[in-house]
Amino acid sequence: MSAKIGRGEIHWLVVIAITLICIALQDQWGWLSKYPQAWTVPFSDWLNIIINWMIKHLGWFFLGFSWLLEWPIKAVRWVLQSLPWGVTAFVFCVIAYVASGWRLALFTLCSLLYMVVIGYWDESMNTLSLVAISVPLAILTGFIFGVWGFHSNRAERVIMPMLDILQTVPVFAYLLPILLLFGFGTVVGLVASVLYSFPPMVRNTIVGLRSVPAEVIESGLMSGASKSQLFWQVRVPNAMRQLLLGVNQATMASLSMVIIASIIGGTEDIGWEVLSTIRKAQFGESLLAGMVIALMAMVIDRITYGLATRTDDYQNTAADTASNTTTRTLHRYRYWCIAAAGAVVFFVLAQIFDILQDWPRHLEWSPAKTMNDGLTYLVANFRGEIDSIKKFAFFFIMLPAKIGLQQAVSPFTWGFELTQTHRVAYVIAMIAIALLCMKRWNYKAAIATLLFAIFFYIGLTNMPWPAVILIYAVIAWKIGGPALGIGTLTGLAFIASSGNWPEAMLSIYLCGIAVIISFVLGTAIGIWASYNDTVSAFVRPINDTLQTMPLFVILIPFVMIFKIGDFTALLAIIAYAFVPAIRYAEHGLRHLPEDTLEAATMIGATKRQLLWQVKIPLAMPVMMLGLNQTIMYGIAMLVITALVGTKGLEQSVYIGLSDGNFGVGMVAGICMAIIAIIVDRCTQAWSRKRQAELGLNPI
Amino acid sequence: MSSEGLNNGAVKLSCRNIWKVYGDKAEQFFKDSQDQSNNPKARADSIRTAGHIVANADVSFDVHVGEIFVIMGLSGSGKSTIVRCLSRLVEPTSGEVLLDGENLLQKNDAELIDVRRHQMGMVFQSFGLMPHLNVIDNIAFPLKLQGIAEEQRYAQASRVIELVGLQGRESNFPKELSGGQQQRVGIARSLAVEPDVWLLDEPFSALDPLIRKQMQDEFLRIRSVLHKSIVFITHDFHEALRIADRMAIMRDGEVVQIGRPVDLILNPVDDYVRDFTTDVPWENVLSAADIVEQANGPTENKRRVSGDTPISELLTYLANHHDGLLVEDAHGTVLGMATARGVLTALASGCSNQISEN
Ligand SMILES: Nc1ncnc2c1ncn2[C@@H]1O[C@H](COP(=O)(O)OP(=O)(O)OP(=O)(O)O)[C@@H](O)[C@H]1O
Ligand SMILES: [Mg+2]
């Protein structure tokens, strides 16, 4: 490292100096540590005024809309409820078979039987009916917006940020306004799920329509297509695969939202079942109900995904070549015929055998009680172990991050008092490490160490807010240029001025720890999986399952064992967020330029050198995207952990919902969205920058 | 330059002073019409200095009825752009495209669609097939867009399928076909509407050499059956030689030379054109008629050959008979003498860097 001090170092040294000054002064000037009440801008009151005005003057419109939407839901619900379960199950199995073959059909059958036997058929059908209405609406909305965005760049520039906001503002935040406007009932869940699930459809529509090859468009034009023919007969069929992927994503989003929305609409559906049993601490029941959701999600995901990527699409089957047109038509519609015929057969059978109509109560079988007993036994017998795990994590990781070593270290927690000698030793050790980093790597590592040392000593929630804003803004600026820096500054300033600063720090602290652990853990597994096919094959289905699992359900096992609290939240976030880290690490390491690796091997790199000095640096941009996804997943789960009593922004959102205070919930929700968007932009910018430096193709 | 060598037919498609400039407000350069007379090269340069991309600069040529007109040039020389200007897939910035004497650029959308539905067919380098349609539906696609009933369009499509030799593959989807077969589908589709003008943009470039050769033969066969006016783009001079009646060579958006292939070999206007022709097997391309000189001296008792004999067949004879032989046309009229010197002169014109006289 050269002795010359560059501009970058100076910027950072100034930042550190300001931080230290802020810390030193915060005892004298109270406003530095705590954002003064008097300075808060009453954003939430303004929002409440707006919503009240809307309810008063436009309420009739929304209520009418709600009334209209009620009908199709009722109709579908009636159909699904009155059909014998045998008929529904058969039709689903046929669809699953068409989508991806025998195995999925079998899986579908088992899942449906599970729902029947466990006694949740009616609830499942209620949830399904909501999904069945919300998905087409979301797809239609998404397609229309997507087409609009495709045709007009200006429209796209308006639509895209809106999508970002819809996808990052916590769902709890916009449940309330929907509730206030549309009134109680199933429609709330419907509207919420449409709002939440149409964005992926928009994105996929735009991407799909854009990526139709120019020559295909030209050949369409040369075939004499008019504008609408070109769109419907050339562009749309060519974009079909991407559109179907959009349908898949929209369906999954819709399902997860329908479940979450049951928090406000106490209708007889699965989400409600999970929630009420959790509240009653009936963990066995809640886990069983949660399994229903998980299975349903997996079946729907595999079916839509299978339909989207069907390999025998655009491929011949033997009978298609048959010259006889009737056989050909029959063959083309064979699955429709089978489904219809089977449905009729099962309907008739159901009239004769009652068991196919309604599964008799006495045959229902639920292991819930056994599970509850087992759990009680487990918790009672391993209390000591469970508590010590919890304590360890709490005292040595979570507490220092939250309130800093200066407060966390006490005889009660660490077993000793923090003395002046300790402090001096800490400072010297950290500076030494920083210098070492400087020597070994570069000044950035040293700066990062110093900042980390300060954070860890003071504690995130005790840091003076102006210093934190400054640090984050400078980081964003260094990574993504002035625009990102200023955006970050404004966004964080908004959080501070809305009076949500302490909660925001609590959210960042919890999510931050979880993300770091998830990322390290996930990357390690990903590296292992990239070397070992068995591990890879073993991890993949687990990942798939975790990713399709509705967030509620992931929460359940942790609550069962560790009760409510930050630690449970932490584990739940980790369980959900480490999946993308694994995926991206494995993908990044498995798809490296072959010639570079060969060259490195020929130079004589050992396996370890190859990994640390060639593979990981090259895969870094992809892994950074993994980090990005890890953070986004973490934030998504963080929102839900409000249910287990965390204290950050997510709780404010949730309280806003349960108190019926739209403004408070929405402002807290916007704060979360701001954090999510800032982190998203920073990690993406960083990844792109690295990628450009390495001269790799964008992924 | 005898550019009107073989074709005396009527002009089918003509492009006049076509300019295509990419960039914001490209039209500004073509506002004042008195500027038109300027040297196109200087003008293109000035547009380029202004930061715009000049894809076509003052391109003019005629395509006669029944003629194969080949356009050649290096990558990025504007070949694709000009052929897209001819079909108005790309809107020229300035100039005229005349189809049967009518300016294509003044047609409105409906008229343009009508032209494409009935008068023009185009084949693309990467085929441009619809992945969701099988072979027969792909071929019948233009007919379907016209609203023709299924029975009839399948009947019509079957005829072209036979023409390109794809019988039996009707219900295959594009991804089940090899590259050559896919391009046959592309060709069949462009012919399904029975167009008069056939545009092909590097139709065989994506195919490997053996298939390419086969497809060229196929193309020549189809063309001998159908007699269309054809614009064919390629960057392969051998391909051009095999099929061209006349050809244009492009560089940086401009046409450098237009003529019969032989003209380009014998009289290249500059080194750029010469570079294209250097590794051509000239002894196969040139025929006796191309090297004749004024007959001087007695012509009786001399060996006579027909004008289209390839030079390669004369070499041994000429090496042993310095006084050469007589070349006659199909009716027996003497065209002139072919001598070893004539051969050498022809050969020299295709090679640069000759040492000087002394
Ligand atoms: N849409 C466009 N926008 C800007 N520049 C373009 C566009 N299309 C083509 N060009 C430019 O116009 C020039 C001519 O392109 P064109 O595709 O006609 O070349 P070509 O001779 O067909 O090359 P190739 O043999 O590679 O197909 C190129 O410099 C290209 O970069
Ligand atoms: Mg081209």
Name every chain B residue with its beta carbon within 8 A of the beta carbon of A317.
none
Tokens read off for A607: 């396996």
Name every chain B residue with its beta carbon within 8 A of the beta carbon of A224.
113-114, 116-118, 142, 145-146, 193
ipTM of the complex: 0.84
What pLDDT sits at residue A696? 62
**pLDDT over threshold 50, residue B4:** no
B175 touches chain A (CB under 8 A): yes
**pLDDT over threshold 90, residue B139:** yes
Residues A550, A259: contact at Cβ < 8 Å? yes
For an interface test with A, which of B120, B132, B151 has the most A Cβ atoms less than 10 Å from its Cβ? B132
What pLDDT sits at residue A173? 82
Which residue blocks in A419-464 are alpha helix, DSSP H? 420-440, 443-458
Give distance in angstroms: CA of A225 to centre of ligand 1: 24
What pLDDT sits at residue B36? 54
Distance CA A491, CA A497 (A): 10
Distance CA A229, CA B144 (A): 10
List the one residue out of A139, A116, A127, A281 whose CA is nearest residue A203. A139
Please name the residue of chain A whose CA is at the shortest distance from the CA of residue B201: A215
**Mean pLDDT, residues B133-159 taken together:** 91
3-state secondary structure of A265: coil
> Confidence class of residue B115 from pLDDT cuts 50, 70 and 90?
very high
What pLDDT sits at residue B163? 84
The per-residue DSSP string of A645-669 comes to T--SHHHHHHHHHHHT-HHHHHHHH
What pLDDT sits at residue B276? 81
Give the fold, CATH level 3, of B11-119+195-276.
Rossmann fold (3.40.50)
Q: What is the C-alpha end-to-end distance of chain A, expressed in Å?
A: 33
Residue B140 phi, psi dihedral angles, 5° rounding: -85, 0
For ligand 1, mutation pick of B56, B59, B81 (most atoms within 8 Å of CB): B81
What pLDDT sits at residue A421? 83
Helix (H) or strand (E) holding B71: strand B68-73
Residues B308, B354: contact at Cβ < 8 Å? no
What pLDDT sits at residue A2? 44
A315 touches chain B (CB under 8 A): yes
Name every chain B residue with its beta carbon within 8 A of the beta carbon of A314.
131-132, 134, 173-175
Domain B283-349 has CATH 3.90.1280.20: yes
Tell if the CB–CB gap between A218 and B89 is shorter than 8 Å.
Answer: yes
Name the residue ranges covered by the structural domains of chain B. 11-119+195-276, 283-349
Please name the residue of chain B whose CA is at the shortest distance from the CA of residue A320: B171
What pLDDT sits at residue A551? 81
Give distance in angstroms: CA of A335 to centre of ligand 2: 45
Give distance in angstroms: CA of B81 to centre of ligand 1: 6
Residue B4: other Cβ atoms inside 10 A: 13
Residue A320 burial (C-beta neighbours within 10 Å; 0-12, 13-18, 19+): middle
Distance CA B44, CA B18 (A): 12
Please name the residue of chain A whose CA is at the shortest distance from the CA of residue B186: A219
What pLDDT sits at residue A697? 55
Residues A637, A572: contact at Cβ < 8 Å? yes
Residue, of A321 and B186, whose pLDDT is higher: B186
3-state secondary structure of A64: helix
Distance CA A287, CA A565 (A): 19
What pLDDT sits at residue B35? 55
Reported residue count of chain B is: 358
Distance CA A568, CA A645 (A): 10
Which among B124, B144, B176 has CB closest to A218?
B124
Helix (H) or strand (E) holding B198: strand B197-201
Give distance in angstroms: CA of B79 to centre of ligand 2: 6
**pLDDT > 70: percent of chain B:** 93
Name every chain A residue with its beta carbon within 8 A of the beta carbon of B124.
215, 218-219
How close B90 gets to chain A, by Cα (Å)?
Answer: 10
- Domains annotated on chain A, with CATH: 1-33+382-497 (no CATH), 499-699 (1.10.3720.10)
How close B300 gets to chain A, by Cα (Å)?
Answer: 59
Tell if the CB–CB gap between A238 and B190 is shorter than 8 Å.
Answer: no
In order of A617, A633, A681, the CA distances from A686 in angstroms are: 13, 19, 8
* B236-287 pLDDT per residue, tens: 888 888 889 999 999 999 999 999 888 888 888 888 888 887 777 777 777 8
Give distance in angstroms: CA of B42 to centre of ligand 1: 20
What pLDDT sits at residue B2? 36
- CA triplet A321, A323, A329: central angle to 5 degrees? 80
* B86-114 pLDDT per residue, tens: 999 999 998 999 999 899 999 999 999 99
Distance CA A108, CA A298 (A): 9
What pLDDT sits at residue B179? 87
Residue A506 phi, psi dihedral angles, 5° rounding: -65, -40
Give distance in angstroms: CA of B79 to centre of ligand 1: 8
Distance CA B81, CA B63 (A): 17
Nearest protein Cα to ligand 1, atom 10: B55
Distance CA A23, CA A13 (A): 15
**pLDDT > 90: percent of chain B:** 34
3-state secondary structure of A20: helix
For an interface test with B, which of A217, A219, A243, A316 has the most B Cβ atoms less than 10 Å from its Cβ? A219
For ligand 1, mutation pick of B79, B233, B239 (most atoms within 8 Å of CB): B79
Point out the residues of chain A with pLDDT beneath 50.
1-3, 318-319, 699
What pLDDT sits at residue A699? 47
Tell if the CB–CB gap between A316 and B114 is shorter than 8 Å.
Answer: no
3-state secondary structure of B14: strand
How close B199 gets to chain A, by Cα (Å)?
Answer: 10
Q: Determine the angle formed by the axes of helices A616-640 and A649-659, rounding to 10 degrees.
A: 30
* B22-72 pLDDT per residue, tens: 988 878 777 765 555 568 888 888 888 888 899 999 999 999 998 999 999
Please state whether beta strands B94-99 and B229-234 pair in parallel, antiparallel, or not at all (unpaired).
unpaired
> Confidence class of residue B182 from pLDDT cuts 50, 70 and 90?
very high
B146 touches chain A (CB under 8 A): yes
Name every chain B residue with its beta carbon within 8 A of the beta carbon of A320.
171
The per-residue DSSP string of B94-119 comes to EEEEEETTEEGGG--HHHHHHHHHHT
Name every chain B residue with its beta carbon within 8 A of the beta carbon of A227.
109
Please name the residue of chain B whose CA is at the shortest distance from the CA of residue A241: B132
